[in-house]
Structure 1
Amino acid sequence: MWNGKGAVAPAAVERIVKAPPPPIHAASMATSPVRDLLELADRPDVISFAGGFPDPALLDVPGIRAAFDTALSGDDAGRNLQYSSTEGNAALRELVAERLSGRGLATTGRSLLITTGSQQALTLVATTLLDTRAVVLVEEPTYLAALQCFHLTGAKVVPVPGDEQGILPDALAAVAGREGPTMLYLVPTFANPTGRTLPARRRREVVEIARRHGFWIVEDEPYAELRYAGSDLDPLAAHPAAEQHTLYLGSFSKIGAPGLRIGWVRAPASLLPSLVVVKQSLDLQTSTVDQAAAAHYLSTGALDAQVTRLRVAFRDRRDAMLGALPTTLPDGSAWTRPEGGMFIWARLPEGVDAGRLLPDALAEKVAFVPGQPFHVTATAPETMRLSFTANTTDAIVTGMTRLASVLRRS
């Protein structure tokens, strides 16, 4: 208000300049260092081992274009540009269910919710199950974006140690007995960031521990179809004792096209309606036309052919990186030898800080992800994650040569 003298009254000034309250949950959260790094590494002259995504040159552009042409042709074209059900395209759900059943996880379309990428599936699960009183157990190290998602709910995140075969069941039982967790989050097959795979015996033990202690298992499986050696393993969700307390997350992003943003969550009937309500509050539904195109793409068998191509290409790229590591990393280093997926996890000699080496690596036009942000509590500055799927074998050899020159100067 004016005070009659051509000036604003003090009370009015206070009302004008008073700021709104800060965000409750996000105020103390940092951005993803991986996403920040990808921006720095997204230059044509940088060979990046940072991002976990397929080489764009390997994506099936003609097949996906044809799928969209079909989705936008004929009597269903208008319907595919309209709002649709929150649960997702019925044909797509049945096709995904058929695919999961063929991999040993008996599934019906009614048990699936289509999501905007599996990251949204994880967000729906976290929003539905977690609050500030909840405890989430994770293998250490684990997927960075999952940690961000859990921290956003205010839940307590507790790491469980593992070894070269993944999470340790004895340690899980001990932590579960002490913490009384709400859920356990795992990437059991070709894990991000380590590339490790939980063996069949441990899978059964984890399921039994969850049943005994009464917590949910969230099984995140975006990489399972990208196997280059060894034999397929049944998902944890396929074990009879896991049926009513396991949520299974999947995605087309690693095997089809990341830009489609098509994922899903398989959930027990006791929880699926709650997930649907949460999704309604977020985006009502995943893109109708993208779902219709994905359904057509699956129905033609094109995704099977694409997965076969990716397996061949990624196997060669994995082998090229593994072959270069002995002459790239300094003596005393160690690394995983994944049977599939996208990542190799490396540990440099004690005293070497991978994070401090990153600026020098970027100056040398090569990028990687330091391993520390994937940990909840452990101090692991000497670790790094290397992705082998986004570059050709020749580029991998060149990039590893550049990385070796950086490490020699450290």
Structure 2
Amino acid sequence: MYEFTAPFQDPSGSPIRELFKYLAEPGMISFAGGYPASDLFDVDGLRSAQKRAYRDSNRCLQYGPTDGLPELKSELVNLMARRGVTCGPGELLVTTGSQQGLDLLLRVLVAPGDVVLTEQPAYPATLQALKLQHARIVTAQVDGHGLDVDNLAALLESGAVPRPKLLYTVPTFANPTGATITRERRIALLKLAVKYRFVIVEDDPYGDLRFSGDTVPSILALTAEVEGSRDWVVHFASLSKIVAPGLRVGWSIAPAEITRRCVIAKQTVDLCSAPWTQAIAAEYLADGALERHLPRITTMYRRKYDALCNELRWQLDDAIQFHQPEGGMFVWARIEGIDSSELLWHAIENKVIFVPGKAFFADKLDAASLRLSFAAPGVEEIQEGARRLKRAYEAALAAGTSSVQSSGS
């Protein structure tokens, strides 16, 4: 009946958001969405920032510059300096969440058929965006230390795929694996980008959520050590996981020529991100509230992470294997011999949900994998949720759920 454009003739929605309908069920415990803990929001700090922001009501209620309020951009430049990155206002674009930044970048850089490298497994919304752009997705192997750069170098050297336009990575506490790319691998990746002339898209929403181990500089920060590499990095960041997702404040840092084109693309999308929430974010950052509040978040996330890992071991023992991250919001696990998509239905019956691993694969699915987010539920809920997961596992075995074979992760 309707003549939809090619990408939307038969689109698929987010497999994670499809699970949200179960959140309304009474007593449901969710390990599914990557929601930050709402009880850890700095409500008082944000309320105070809002009052200060609204003293200039016209700033909050009127249209703002497409690239972002100058006062917020100034605070973000200062924030990035504390993270070891020097950038100018012409490189920084305020976006409505970092997902918008990715959408704008794909608009200006990726044509149908262009090769884009992604980690495997990868963030589903990125895969969704690439498919809608009609990019050719080529997956790169990961291990417990994130992207396997040696394997990637061999892939590029072999000429098995055309020169990629982009490589997308979440290098610190990756979604879904929780893995962190080592400093040495980041340097090697920058050298590959310079050699093969592809843009590294560094998505960094979780970097401040470290609760153990030593800090690793961002890929963008390490460009100072690899000549010419700054021209080949686009960095995304956000306040969603560390302040509040309702602000919808994200930003990108890119070479000025990329940023300029993304600004033009953004003009046709939303004219500007909401000045009101930008002003609140600017006041919040200027007050130093983020630095004061982050230790509270990371301390609690460590407690929740420990609770989940300890209870999973206690309840499921050798039946489950998982990677142990040093921060972030996720545990990536495998339950041998069970298709996690089938396990999910038994889990729903036992009032607990997670995300089956299939959602994170562009190819070579690992049907036994699953992602568990420990950020949103409380410690007691996490412990009870693991007990319910065990009951679901036992029910799946009793029902004769077919065994699966891993086809690579």
Bin the TM-score by the shorter chain: over 0.9
- 1:257 maps to a residue whose letter is A
Residues 1:23 and 1:329: Cα distance change in structure 2 (over 3 Å): farther
Is 1:26 the counterpart of 2:26? The answer is no
Q: Which residue in 2 is equivalent to 1:105?
A: 85
Tell me which residue corresponds to 2:278: 291
Alpha-carbon offset, residue 26 of structure 1 = 2.0
Tell me how far apart the structure 2 counterparts of residues 174 and 243 of structure 1 sit (CA, whole Å): 23
Change in CA separation of 1:204 and 1:42 when aligned onto 2, cut-off 3 Å: farther
- 5 Å-filtered alignment, 1:3-402, equals 19-73=1-55, 76-176=56-156, 177-179=159-161, 180-238=163-221, 239-240=223-224, 241=226, 242-329=229-316, 331-349=318-336, 351-402=337-388
- Does the 8 Å CA contact 1:330/1:348 hold for their aligned counterparts? no
Distance 1:175 1:34 in 2: 31
Between 172-181 and 25-34, the greater mean CA deviation after superposition: 172-181
Q: Give yes or no for contact 2:149–2:188 (8 Å, CA) kept in 1.
A: yes
- Looking at structure 1, the residues matched to 14 and 155 of structure 2 have their Cα atoms a distance apart, in angstroms, of 27
Structure 1, unaligned runs of 5 or more:
1-18
Contact 1:98 1:108 in 2 (8 A): no
Structure 2: runs of 5 or more not aligned: 398-409
AA aligned opposite 1:189: T
Name the CA distance, whole Å, in 1 between partners of 2:292 and 2:378.
20
The answer to whether the 8 A contact 1:115-1:264 is kept is yes
1:41 counterpart letter in structure 2:
L
Over the aligned positions, Cα root-mean-square deviation in angstroms equals: 1.2
**Secondary structure at 1:310 match in 2:** helix
Contact 1:252 1:263 in 2 (8 A): yes
Mapped contact 1:218–1:249 kept (Cα < 8 A): yes
CA contact (8 A) 2:75 2:282 kept: yes
Amino acid at match of 1:149: A
Question: Which amino acid letter does the alignment assign opposite residue 135 of structure 1?
Answer: V
- Distance in 2 between residues matched to 1:23 and 1:166, nearest whole Å: 36
Change (3 A) 1:332 1:404: closer
Moved more, 23-32 or 260-269: 23-32
- Runs of 4 or more above 4 Å deviation: none
| 2:80 partner letter | L
Instruction: Return the offset for 1:248.
Output: 0.2
For the Cα contact (< 8 Å) 1:330–1:408, is it kept in 2? no
- The amino acid across from 2:171 in the alignment is P
Match of 1:197, SS state, is coil
Letter in 1 for 2:183: A
Normalised TM-score (structure 1): 0.92
CA–CA distance in structure 2, aligned partners of residues 42 and 219 of structure 1: 34
Give the letter for the 1:222 counterpart: P
Q: Output the CA distance in 2 between the equivalents of 1:44 and 1:297.
A: 35
Note the C-alpha offset of 1:44: 4.1
Q: Is the Cα contact below 8 Å between 2:120 and 2:360 reproduced in 1?
A: yes
Q: CA deviation at 1:406?
A: 1.0
Question: Does the aligned pair in 1 maintain the 2:36–2:241 contact within 8 Å?
Answer: yes
Q: Distance in 2 between matches of 1:33 and 1:322?
A: 25
Partner of 1:243, secondary structure, is helix
Offset of 1:28 from its aligned partner?
2.6
Deviations for 1:215-255, whole angstroms, at most 9, x for unmatched residues? 00000000000000111111111223321110000000000
Q: Is the 8 A contact 1:330 1:407 kept in 2?
A: no
Contact 1:94 1:108 in 2 (8 A): no
Q: Which moved more, 1:171-180 or 1:133-142?
A: 171-180
Q: Is the 8 A contact 1:251 1:264 kept in 2?
A: yes
Larger radius of gyration: 1
Q: Give the Cα separation in 2 of the matches to 1:306 and 1:27.
A: 45
1:70 alignment partner AA: R
Q: Which is worse superposed, 193-202 or 104-113?
A: 104-113
Distance 2:295 2:8 in 1: 41
